[in-house]
Structure 1
Amino acid sequence: MNDFISMLENGDWQTGSRGPRYLQLRRRIQLAIDEGVLKENEPLPSEREIAVITDLSRVTVRKAVAGLVEDRTVVQKRGSGSFVAPRVRKVEQRLSSLTSFSEDMARRGLAASSEWLQRGLCPASPEEIFALGLSSGERVARVERLRKADGIPMAIERASLSEKILPNPEKVSSSLYAVLRSTGMQPVRAIQRISARCLEAVDAEILKIPIGSAGLKIERVSYQTTGQVVEFTRSVYRGDAYDFVAELQISEE
Structure 2
Amino acid sequence: MSDLFSPEGFDDAGKGPLYRQLARRIGDGIASGALQPGESLPPERDMAAMTGLSRVTVRKAVQSLVASGDLVQRRGSGTYVAPRVERLEQALSLLTSFSEDMRRRGKAARSVWLDRSLHTPTPDEVMVLGLKAHDRVARLARVRLADGVPLAIERASLPAALLPDPEAVESSLYAHLETNGLRPVRAVQRLSAVNIGPADAELLELPPGAACLRIERIAYLASGATAEYTLSLYRGDAYDFAAELRLAGDSQGDTP
TM-score (norm 2): 0.81
RMSD: 2.9
Distance 1:170 1:163 in 2: 12
SS class of match (2:182) = coil
CA gap of 1:193–1:14, structure 2 versus 1, over 3 A, is farther
Aligned residue number for residue 237 of structure 2 = 240
Alignment of 1:146-157 (within 5 A): 146-157=143-154
8 Å CA contact retained: 1:51, 1:58: no
Q: How does 1:25-174 map to 2 (within 5 A)?
A: 25-44=22-41, 46-52=46-52, 61-76=58-73, 82-174=79-171
Deviation for aligned residue 1:232: 1.0
One-letter code aligned to 1:168: D
Tell me the amino acid that sits aligned with residue 48 of structure 1. A
Q: Is the 8 A contact 1:123 1:138 kept in 2?
A: yes
Determine what percentage of the aligned residue pairs are the same residue. 53
Q: 1:38 to 1:188 in 2, by over 3 A?
A: same
Contact 1:47–1:62 (8 Å) recurs in 2: no
Residue pairs, 1:193-204, within 5 angstroms: 193-204=190-201
Q: 1:24 to 1:183 in 2, by over 3 A?
A: same
Could you say if the C-alpha distance between residues 70 and 201 of structure 1 is closer, same or farther in structure 2, counting changes exceeding 3 Å? closer
Q: Relative to structure 1, is the Cα distance of residues 37 and 229 closer, same or farther in structure 2, using a 3 angstrom cutoff?
A: same
Deviations 1:91-127 (A, max 9, x none): 3222110100111111122211112222122222211
2:174 partner amino acid: Y
Aligned length in residues: 247
Measured in 2, the distance between the counterparts of 1:192 and 1:226 equals: 19
- In the alignment, the residues of structure 2 paired with residue 191 and residue 78 of structure 1 have an alpha-carbon distance, to the nearest angstrom, of 37
Determine the C-alpha separation between the residues in 2 that align with 1:80 and 1:157: 25
CA distance in 2, matches of 1:57, 1:73: 22
Change (3 A) 1:44 1:189: same
Q: The residue matched to 1:65 in structure 2 has which SS? A: helix
Q: Deviations over 1:142-192 (max 9, x none)?
A: 222221112222222111112222223232111111112121111111000
- 1:182 corresponding residue in structure 2: 179
CA distance, structure 1, for counterparts of residue 189 and residue 77 of structure 2 = 42
- Residue pairs, 1:226-237, within 5 angstroms: 226-237=223-234
SS in 2 for 1:154: strand
The 1:162–1:42 alpha-carbon spacing in structure 2 relative to 1, beyond 3 Å, is closer
**Distance (Å, rounded) in 2 between the aligned partners of 1:205 and 1:76:** 8
Shift of 1:88: 2.6
